[in-house]
């Protein structure tokens, strides 16, 4: 049993939404020109605890309460009900420019931000050079921060947060603002914190980051904790929830129905390359891997001439590749019946650096969709940096 550093008990946080009418509506309907107030429960009876050295991912759809919860743990917001107990020094990187004064220089804001985090001036002076060097904005340190770009804001804020010797680091989605080299620098620093036994609470919409960095993941939906388990289980539940929304939208537009029923029970990605690494939720490999989608299917009755369709996309939804078993096979797939397993292989995938997802669907002989899973699996390609883009090449140049 570890040492508990964060305890959240029956947390409730509500906000009042004021729906003010326009000036025109107020003048035309003076007798009914009152502001309409509604109460929104951002958090509803949230309870959990975090032990020292744990890395916790907070995941969930937009509006589920992740950032609100992080702000309450960081002491920025107070709950309506319940309580939060925190042991140790907390550094929070929550909102772009939070704790910065726009009319002060970067240098002055380092001292201001450090004092907000409870750091003395003497300690700040000891860390000052390291903070500036890590941020990479030495040339602008005496410029007013109101002239900073969003990326420069994040660089300076993150650098202060990680150099004030925190016991607990709270990180929201703001790291997505920085450029890729600085994002990698931040990830390396977070991993160093993990090795040092510090506690990290991490909010992200990137499943690969959560699976790679976190020991646990807490899934929030409409302000409530629905899963507090391993990243694999929490992210799997989140993916299924997204899939149900997509399926409901698809079904509302479909008029044809099949006489067959089939389902994709599971998909597990592996690679035949010896150089790849398999983490709990993703495959990481250099270009040229043979990606294997290990699929388990169920058929309610013998289903002839069925097909599988698969597509590969970037995390931002950019399409890379689509395949249909009807197109690359000379004969139909074996009759589907009961539970079946198959392996769909993508040999020699020359994809560029990035994170990718695979979508999968099963169709009957008329092409009617029987089941589909979007973002069914996640894999990442890491290159030697010789080229950029979704297609990888290792170029050479010769002179005669």
Tens of pLDDT, residue by residue over 116-129, are 777 788 888 888 99
Task: Express as a percent the part of the chain with pLDDT over 90.
Answer: 27
pTM: 0.61
* Cβ pair 314, 356 in contact under 8 A: yes
In this model, does residue 156 exceed pLDDT 80? yes
Q: Is residue 341 in a domain?
A: yes
In this model, does residue 17 exceed pLDDT 80? no
Domain enclosing residue 362, as ranges: 258-381
Give residue 384's pLDDT band: very low, low, confident or very high (50, 70, 90).
Answer: confident
Q: Is residue 289 in a domain?
A: yes
CATH of the domain at 287: 2.70.50.60
Give residue 342's pLDDT band: very low, low, confident or very high (50, 70, 90).
Answer: very high
Which of the pair, 181 or 109, is modelled with greater confidence?
109
Query: pLDDT tens, 73-119?
Result: 988 889 999 999 999 888 887 765 566 888 899 899 888 878 877 77
In this model, does residue 344 exceed pLDDT 90? yes
Structure tokens at 206: 């990137």
Q: Is residue 221 in a domain?
A: no
> What whole-number distance in Å separates Cα of residue 131 and Cα of residue 178?
16
In this model, does residue 346 exceed pLDDT 60? yes
Give residue 46's pLDDT band: very low, low, confident or very high (50, 70, 90).
Answer: very high
In this model, does residue 370 exceed pLDDT 60? yes
Instruction: Give the least confident one: 106-115, 143-152, 251-260.
Output: 251-260
Which of the pair, 114 or 217, is modelled with greater confidence?
217
Give residue 280's pLDDT band: very low, low, confident or very high (50, 70, 90).
Answer: very low
Q: Is residue 365 in a domain?
A: yes
Q: What is the mean pLDDT of residues 148-175?
A: 83
> What whole-number distance in Å separates Cα of residue 393 and Cα of residue 391?
7
Q: What is the DSSP string of 145-211?
A: GGG--HHHHHHHHHHHHHHS--SEEEE-GGGGGS-HHHHHHHHHHHHHHHHTT-EEEEE-S-HHHHH
Query: pLDDT tens, 289-319?
Result: 889 999 999 999 999 999 999 999 887 677 8
> What whole-number distance in Å separates Cα of residue 270 and Cα of residue 25?
60
Count of structural domains, the chain: 1
Q: Is residue 337 in a domain?
A: yes
Which of the pair, 383 or 360, is modelled with greater confidence?
360
In this model, does residue 249 exceed pLDDT 60? no
Q: Is 122 exposed, middle or buried (0-12, 13-18, 19+ CB in 10 A)?
A: exposed
> What whole-number distance in Å separates Cα of residue 352 and Cα of residue 343?
24
* Cβ pair 82, 12 in contact under 8 A: yes
**Rg value, the chain, Cα:** 25
Q: What is the model's pLDDT at position 343?
A: 93
């Amino acid at each position: 049993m570890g040492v508990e550093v964060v305890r959240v008990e029956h947390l409730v946080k509500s906000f009042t939404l004021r729906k003010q009418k326009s000036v025109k509506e107020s003048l035309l309907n003076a007798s009914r020109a009152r502001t309409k107030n509604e109460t929104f429960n951002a958090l509803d009876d949230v309870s959990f605890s975090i032990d020292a050295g744990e890395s916790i991912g907070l995941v969930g759809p937009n509006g589920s309460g992740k950032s609100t919860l992080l702000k309450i743990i960081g002491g920025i917001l107070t709950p309506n009900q319940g309580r939060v107990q925190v042991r140790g020094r907390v550094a929070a990187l929550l909102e772009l420019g939070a704790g910065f004064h726009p009319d002060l220089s970067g240098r002055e804001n380092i001292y201001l931000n450090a004092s907000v985090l409870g750091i003395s001036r003497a300690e700040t002076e000891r860390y000052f050079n390291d903070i500036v060097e890590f941020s990479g904005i030495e040339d602008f340190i005496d410029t007013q921060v109101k002239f900073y770009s969003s990326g420069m804001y994040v660089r300076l804020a993150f650098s202060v947060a990680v150099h004030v010797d925190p016991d607990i680091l709270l990180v929201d989605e703001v790291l997505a603002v920085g450029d890729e080299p600085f994002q990698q620098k931040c990830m390396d620093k977070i991993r160093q914190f993990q090795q040092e036994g510090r506690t990290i609470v991490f909010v992200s919409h990137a499943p690969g980051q959560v699976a790679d960095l976190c020991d646990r993941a807490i899934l929030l939906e409409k302000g409530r904790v629905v899963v507090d388990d391993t990243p694999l289980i929490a992210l799997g539940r989140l993916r299924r929830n997204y899939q149900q929304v997509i399926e409901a939208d698809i079904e509302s537009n479909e008029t044809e129905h099949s006489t067959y029923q089939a389902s994709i029970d599971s998909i597990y990605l592996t690679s035949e390359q010896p150089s790849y690494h398999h983490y709990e939720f993703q495959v990481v490999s250099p270009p040229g891997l043979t990606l294997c989608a290990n699929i388990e299917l169920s058929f309610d009755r013998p289903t002839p001439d069925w097909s599988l369709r698969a597509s590969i996309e970037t995390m931002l939804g950019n399409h890379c590749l689509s395949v249909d078993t009807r197109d690359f096979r000379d004969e139909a797939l074996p009759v589907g019946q009961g539970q079946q397993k198959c392996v769909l292989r993508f040999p020699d995938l020359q994809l560029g650096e990035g994170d990718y997802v695979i979508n999968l669907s099963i169709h009957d002989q008329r092409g009617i969709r029987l089941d589909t899973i979007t973002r069914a699996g996640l894999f990442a390609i890491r290159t030697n940096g010789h080229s950029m883009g979704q297609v990888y090449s290792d170029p050479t140049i010769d002179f005669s």
